[in-house]
Amino acid sequence: MLTLLVTNSLRLSQESLQTQAVQRNTELKILFNAALAAPMAEHDYATLNEILTEIRRGEGIVYMVLTDRSGNKVASAGWDEPGALPKSNGNLDFSQTSNNHFDLAIPIKLAENTYGTLSYGLSSTFLKNAQSHLLQQSLLIAAIEIILSFVLLAMLGYWLTRHLSLLTKATASLAMGDFNAVLPVKSDDEVGVLTQTFNVMSAAIRSRIDALTQSEAQFHAIADYAYGCEGWIDQEGYLIWVNPSVDRITGYSPLECVAIARFPADFAVAQDRDLVSRTIHSALQANTGGNFEFRLQRKDGEIIWIAVFWQPIYGPNQEHNGIRTSMLDITERKNAEMALQRALTDLKRADEGRQQYLNEIEEERARLLALLGVMNLGILFVNANNQVKYYNPTFLRIWMIPEDIELVGHSAEEVLTHSTNKLSRPDHFSKHLLNVLETHEVSDSFEIQMDDGRVVTQLSYPVRDHDGRFFGRLWIYEDVTRERQTAEQLVYLAERDALTGLFNRRRFQDELTRLLSDSDRHGRQGALLFFDLDEFKYINDTFGHRAGDSVLIRVAGEVAVLTRKNEVFSRLGGDEFALLMPDASEKDAEILAERIVRAVSQIPFRMEGQNLRLTTSLGIAHYPKNATSAEDLIAHADAAMYQAKDAGKNTWRSYRPELDASREMVNRLTWNDRIASAFEKSLLRLHFQGVYYTHNGQLSHLEVLIRMIDETDESRLIMPGHFIPYAEKNGKILDIDRWVIRESISLLASSELIPSLAVNISGRSFDEPTLPHYIAELLKEFNVAPDRLWVELTETSAISDLHDAERFIEALRKTGCHTCLDDFGTGFSSFAYLKHLKADVLKIDGLFIRDLPNDRDNQVFVKSIVDVARGLGKKTVAEFVENAETLNMLKQFGVDMVQGYHLDKPQEHHPALVCLKADKISTDIR
């Protein structure tokens, strides 16, 4: 019996320990899965390693290895052996273990998704030790029992068996899932300790399971029975959880939805798929909620409307974990909206039909009253007996007839007797009226001059019935006073300088052409006077552009008084003036020149407390004595002006060929023909140089540069510095500017992949008011976005003619083009002009860039330009970047864009024009 008792005790203890090991392993599975599932789903391998290490610190875990779905090891603790992991037998029978631990494995799951497998070794040492210890105690007790007495052995066996029986039954109940078993502690021996441990373990497991059960029930109560489809999309755009409502809305199960790569975009109809993808991507980048609607195709093929609402999801440490989406089926609402729209459409059609029926009843009356009553034309309808049948309010307003006077029924002759205004030529009007009444045809437009200065046009239309019988006349009056004034003002603005009111360069060219034509036709002579103000740049730089403007206005007013009515006085730009004298002898021109020089020198100016006197240098060229064409006459008058400057200024000179026989004059005359020939023979070419962003080396845009092919040697290119100065002198620069602009816009239109282009505009174009309109029309004609065109203007030209430059830049900005102030910094006082010149970009003059690393003053100046530009919201460009050291320094200063030979050289076939990326250049810049 003692042997049986010992054997039975060993068996029961082994079963209890076996059950305890199983229970412990079950608990560990839950804990392991709870601890590892979330980091495993987020691929947070560092956290996984920390968790495994922390778990293994406790007793009983030999090793832990975590692998992903593909079997790759992602985290481990206590396992350093090479080769494959031991195969999990799933058996916790410690009697069959040979290595003192059990090799086990469990899957790691979250929301029914398996993310990997945890392999671990559960120590069996404590079980074996407990068994061995129990065996020893039993044998010792058996020996003592045999020695003492059979009765004592029997009682002790019964005592031990009774407690072990209760523990065995409780253990069996626990193994069956009954966690409510509580054993009374009736002794302090090992069985009592084991009983206490069992009770604590049972209570802990019961508490944990109750909490998990309650939490799971609450979660499913909220998520599973939500009206809409609730989902969780991670930062990568993958759906990681969705509630069962998705089946009701889409027809797809949650598992099918999670398996979809792009949810819900892959369920959208083809037309909405890109919209859904873009919106979900934007939602993942945003930190606020939003919503959108799209059409979804259910699993059964039905198309429904879905409204999606999203909110960002953040973890306990405010890390962004994706977005929560709520999808609602709004098909019924959409159908109701469409039904309502159809109903409104039907109602509108019915109303239109009713309105059409009413219109047919009184078609003529309603049409006349609706149309004539709102017209800005004065309408008077008289019948065949010349009696008034209808008039509108505009007729009363034009003729200033009081509204309380009733004209219907009166004769047309009586109508004008009520007018409070008088005709300036009543006899002329009466004659025209009689001529109109004699015929039943449409009259010509007749202008009526009023005493108050207004101009009213009159038209007469006979009115006939369907059979062609005349039954009345319609008189139409329109007050065109404002239109005439506007037209005259536009003509004035197109021909006048905005600052001085003198004729501008355009009108000057027209008058010069007319003068030469008349002189050739009638054999007459004429003269051209050119003059500018000596040291005028000093006034602008020292006292500012407002002072310079006031000087120009004063000089223009003083000289205008000296000119005769038939003489044309013009401002060509800046401080340059020209005066055409038709039918003037050489003596007449010289007398007027002397008077102009003397008048300018006697004008007193007071600026900032200083009294100043300005002088002028004037040149005279006679026609046909000194020239046979307009270009030559301008060139000779300009040369004579510089002869006056060479003579000491404050004087005038008539053109003398012997003083202008230098190579410069020969070149000027030669270049006139060469430029004209270049246009005729298409010898002008465009070259391009890249402008790059400083911070990343990417191409911003290309600057357009003009070249001319040498007519005598087509392999040689002529740089713009050789012919542009002469083109500016003879006016050809305006044609060159337009040619470059048109070619550039045409190139932009050839491909959307071509980057933006920057074209240079001459200062002579400032007084060309039609140029911004010309640019706008070209952009519209070629369908090119205006922001792809940059227009560059030199700072010196802009400041010398600030008023025109300000107007010109503003007109360009209205077209949508970018504007750039080139060669900025040539005069430090120009900082003040940035307030008036609203350019988008400042291009720093290359004078300050060439030796930047070695010139401290230039560094300070460039940094100042960048700071001022940034403060005014403008970008900066540095040209002439010729080495890496200069480029790095410009990066430090914060310059936005750079260009120069270090980056690339001007070339006709730039890589960007054939849509090639400048990868090598970008790498060099970085």
**Tens-digit pLDDT profile for residues 157-211:** 676 666 666 777 777 777 777 767 677 766 666 767 777 787 788 778 878 887 8
Residue type, position 300, single letter? D
Instruction: Work out the average pLDDT over 763-783.
Output: 83
With contact defined as beta carbons under 8 Å apart, do 799 and 805 qualify? yes
- Concatenating the DSSP letter of every residue in 190-243 gives HHHHHHHHHHHHHHHHHHHHHHHHHHHHHHHHHHTT-SSEEEEE-TTS-EEEE-
With contact defined as beta carbons under 8 Å apart, do 644 and 653 qualify? yes
More confident position, 602 or 351: 602
Tokens of 367: 């049409």
Report how far apart, in Å, the C-alpha atoms of 144 and of each of 2, 112, 130, 149, 153 are: 11, 58, 21, 8, 8
What is residue 494's predicted lDDT score, i.e. its pLDDT?
64
Cα(922)–Cα(895) distance, rounded to whole angstroms? Answer: 16
What is residue 690's predicted lDDT score, i.e. its pLDDT?
93
What average pLDDT does the chain have? 81
Tokens of 461: 């239309």
What is residue 620's predicted lDDT score, i.e. its pLDDT?
94
What is residue 161's predicted lDDT score, i.e. its pLDDT?
65
Instruction: Work out the average pLDDT over 481-493.
Output: 66
Cis bond before residue 911 (omega within 30° of 0) = no
Strands (E), 427-556: 446-449, 455-464, 470-479, 526-533
For residue range 113-135, list pLDDT tens digits in order: 888 888 888 887 777 777 777 77
What confidence tier does 369 reach under pLDDT thresholds 50, 70, 90? low
Secondary structure letter of residue 130 according to DSSP? H
More confident position, 93 or 687: 687
Report how far apart, in Å, the C-alpha atoms of 218 and of each of 72, 109, 213, 215 are: 36, 20, 9, 5
Cα(888)–Cα(881) distance, rounded to whole angstroms? Answer: 10
pLDDT at 311 over 60: yes
Instruction: Work out the average pLDDT over 555-567.
Output: 90
Instruction: Work out the average pLDDT over 829-849.
Output: 74
What is residue 826's predicted lDDT score, i.e. its pLDDT?
60
What is residue 876's predicted lDDT score, i.e. its pLDDT?
93
Cα(390)–Cα(372) distance, rounded to whole angstroms? Answer: 10
Give Rg (Cα) of the chain: 49
What is residue 35's predicted lDDT score, i.e. its pLDDT?
83
What confidence tier does 921 reach under pLDDT thresholds 50, 70, 90? very low
Cα(418)–Cα(400) distance, rounded to whole angstroms? Answer: 8
Burial grade of 820 (CB within 10 A; 0-12, 13-18, 19 or more): buried
Least confident of 404-413, 439-448, 506-515, 554-563: 439-448
For residue range 453-475, list pLDDT tens digits in order: 788 888 888 888 777 788 788 87
Burial grade of 444 (CB within 10 A; 0-12, 13-18, 19 or more): exposed
pLDDT at 96 over 70: no
Closest CA to 52 of 68, 41, 34, 36: 36
What count of residues does the chain have? Answer: 926
What is residue 771's predicted lDDT score, i.e. its pLDDT?
84
What confidence tier does 665 reach under pLDDT thresholds 50, 70, 90? low
Which of the listed ranges 55-64, 591-600, 762-771 does the model predict with the highest average pLDDT? Answer: 591-600
Instruction: Work out the average pLDDT over 840-850.
Output: 85
Cα(209)–Cα(34) distance, rounded to whole angstroms? Answer: 13
Instruction: Work out the average pLDDT over 98-104.
Output: 76
Q: Are strands 73-77 and 101-110 parallel, antiparallel or unpaired?
A: unpaired
pLDDT at 310 over 90: no
What is residue 689's predicted lDDT score, i.e. its pLDDT?
93
Least confident of 103-117, 188-202, 754-768: 188-202
Strands (E), 645-765: 651-654, 684-693, 699-709, 717-718, 756-761
3-class DSSP state of 834: helix
Tokens of 654: 């008539």
For residue range 378-410, list pLDDT tens digits in order: 888 888 888 888 878 887 788 788 878 888 888
What is residue 368's predicted lDDT score, i.e. its pLDDT?
62
Instruction: Work out the average pLDDT over 510-522.
Output: 85
Tokens of 222: 């909220």
With contact defined as beta carbons under 8 Å apart, do 500 and 556 qualify? yes
Percent of the chain at pLDDT exceeding 90 = 15
CA 339 to chain centre: 39
Burial grade of 844 (CB within 10 A; 0-12, 13-18, 19 or more): buried
Which of the listed ranges 141-145, 709-713, 723-727 does the model predict with the highest average pLDDT? Answer: 709-713
